[in-house]
Structure 1
Amino acid sequence: MDFNKIDFLSLDKTYQLVQGFSCGNDWINDYLKQPSNAIFDHRLGISSTTTLVYENEIVAFFTANCSHLEIPMEEAREIGLKDDLFIPAVEVKYLGVKEKYQTNGIGTYLLQFIIGKVLEITPVFACRYIFLWAVEDKIEYYEKRYFQLTGKEENGLYLMKFLIPTYEWEEE
């Protein structure tokens, strides 16, 4: 697959293609395909769904939004917080790669894209983490890519976190 030929398109431009998508997880597939879910949230501005399209086929997608999530007290202390346990974050609510493309590097390519976009906005909009909901059989995959399991589970999905690097600012 030629990654240079993948288009990142908004769900509202590709919704006619979603019925042909399956990542192997019914919960994630239903979120993308049901009109009361992804497209509804997208059009309301609650979350944004981006599809990766290759040769007129959705090969992957992710749904994300700006958020803030609670972190444990000891972690808050480690980063210098005294009493606020809610941290600005980008939450990746859903992420799926079409089954036939799951071993072609698309997932890694997609994670690199997401992390890159968050790194771009962080200096302006202060984002400390990427939180991502993962299916159980992909936890190890994400751990190899520096995501940590938080211990929180919901609807068969596991919350993982990726700490955004901070940079020392030089005063002029």
Structure 2
Amino acid sequence: MSTIIGISEENRKAVAFELSKLLADEFTLYAKTRNAHWNVEGNDFHAMHLFFESQYEQLDDIMDGVAERIRTLGHYAPATLKSFLQLTHLTEKTHDKNDSPSFIKELLEDHQSIIEFIRGNIEPFASKYHDYGTSDYITGLMEDHEKMAWMLRAHLS
């Protein structure tokens, strides 16, 4: 059945493609945050284990929302590791130590990268693609990432 929501197919396809990149970034950040949760070591283990858990739970909700927004636009969300690796802007790093500052710095960089990606799409989604709903939606996601980044940054002070 056709998706008739007042946005052309061409524009919905373009927005869905950018959202697919965002979903890949969210999934990659989710996996990296899970890694931090599982592998953090140090005398702050318990607190950081719980902190990383709260962050990956938020990312799980974000991923679901992004995938559902792609479906709302009438397209299929990428859902394989291969597709995520092809679409993501983020990279994996290896740590010399599995301490919380190392994980926090890397995760903070990734949140900042996602914030910049989202910020760069807010205006084009609205003006170029006439998708004010997705523009509004990702504005909220940007705010979520800004708060998560603040929480990470606060651990480094």
**TM-score interval, smaller chain:** 0.3 to 0.5
RCO higher in structure (CA 8 A, sep ≥6): 2
Task: Give TM-score scaled by structure 2 length.
Answer: 0.32
* TM-score normalised to structure 1 length: 0.30
Higher strand share: 1
